[in-house]
A and B are shown apart, each in its own frame.
Chain A
Amino acid sequence: MIPYLALAAILFSIGLFGVMTRRNTIGILMSLELMFNAVNINFVTFNKYVVSDGLVGQIFAIFIVVIAAAEAVVGLAIVLLIYRNWKGIDTDHFTVMKW
C-alpha cells in the first residue's frame, strides 16, 4: 500500500508546487488536475487494501474525475474570458486589486 500512497503524495506535491509557481493560468489548471488525480490514486489504493468489500473508494474516484472535469471547464471558460479582456493569461496581469 505504501508505494501507491507515496506515488499519490509525490503527484500531489508536484501539483502543489505547480499551482504555486506557475505563471501561466493553463499551467495552474493542469497542476490542479494533478492534485485531483493524486487523490484518486489514494482513494483507489485505500479501497483495495483497507476496505474488505465494497466499492466506495472507486465510486468516489469516478465522482472526482467528473467534478475535476466540471471545474476544469469552468476554469477554462474563465481563462477564455480573461484572454479576451487582457490578451494574455499570465498571472502577472492579475493585479487590478492590491492590499
Chain B
Amino acid sequence: MFETFYPILFLVLFATFLAFMLVAFSIILGRRTSLGKKFQAYECGITPEGSTKDPVPIKFFQVAILFLLFDIEVIFLYPWAIVSRQLGWFGFIEMLVFIVILLVGYFYVLGRGALKWD
C-alpha cells in the first residue's frame, strides 16, 4: 500500500537535496561581504526606520479583536450549509436568529464608533 506514496517520498528527498545543494553552492561560489546593509531587517527593499518595539495605535488592536470575533463566529455557517436542505425551514430560521444576534453585535460596534478611523 505504500507504493502510492513513493512520489511523495521522492519529492521530499529531492527538495531536501535541492535545498542543501543551493546553500552549498552559494557558500562555495559566492563572495563574502559584510556590508552594513546585510545586517538590516529585510523589508522588500525599503529602508527600515525606527524600532520594532514602538507601540502600535490601539485602534489596530480594536479592529483586530473585532475581526477575530466575527471571523470565528461564521464557522457555524459551514455545517449548516452542508445540511441546509435536510433541515429546511427550521434550520433556516435558526440560522436567521443566529445572524440577527451577530448583527446586533455589529450594529452595537458601529454605534459605539469602534470602527471609526480618524
A interface list, Cβ under 8 A from B: 59, 62, 65-66, 69-70, 72-73, 76-77, 80, 84
Rank and list the top 7 A-B pairs by shortest CB-CB distance, nearest first. Answer: A69-B72, A73-B69, A73-B65, A76-B65, A66-B72, A80-B61, A62-B75
Q: Which residues of A contact B62 (CB under 8 A)?
A: 80
The interface centre, meaning the residue of B65, B73, B75, B76 with most chain A CB atoms within 10 A of its CB, is B65
Q: Binding site of B, secondary structure by majority: helix, strand, loop or mixed?
A: helix
Chain A minimum-CB-distance residue to B72:
A69
Q: How many A-B residue pairs have CB under 8 A?
A: 29
Which of B61, B65, B66, B75 has a CB less than 8 Å from the CB of A65? B75
Chain B minimum-CB-distance residue to A69:
B72
B interface list, Cβ under 8 A from A: 58, 61-62, 65-66, 68-69, 72-73, 75-76, 79
Q: B73, A66: Cβ atoms under 8 Å?
A: yes
Distance in angstroms between the alpha carbons of A77 and B65 in the assembled complex: 8
Chain B minimum-CB-distance residue to A75:
B65
Given contacts A62-B75, A65-B75, contact A70 B65 (CB under 8 A): no
Distance in angstroms between the alpha carbons of A59 and B58 in the assembled complex: 35
Distance in angstroms between the alpha carbons of A73 and B62 in the assembled complex: 10
Distance in angstroms between the alpha carbons of A90 and B101 in the assembled complex: 35
Chain B minimum-CB-distance residue to A62:
B75
Q: Which residues of B contact A77 (CB under 8 A)?
A: 65
Q: A80, B75: Cβ atoms under 8 Å?
A: no
Chain A minimum-CB-distance residue to B61:
A80
Distance in angstroms between the alpha carbons of A73 and B61 in the assembled complex: 10
Which of A62, A76, A84 has a CB less than 8 Å from the CB of B76? A62
Q: A69, B76: Cβ atoms under 8 Å?
A: no
Q: A66, B65: Cβ atoms under 8 Å?
A: no
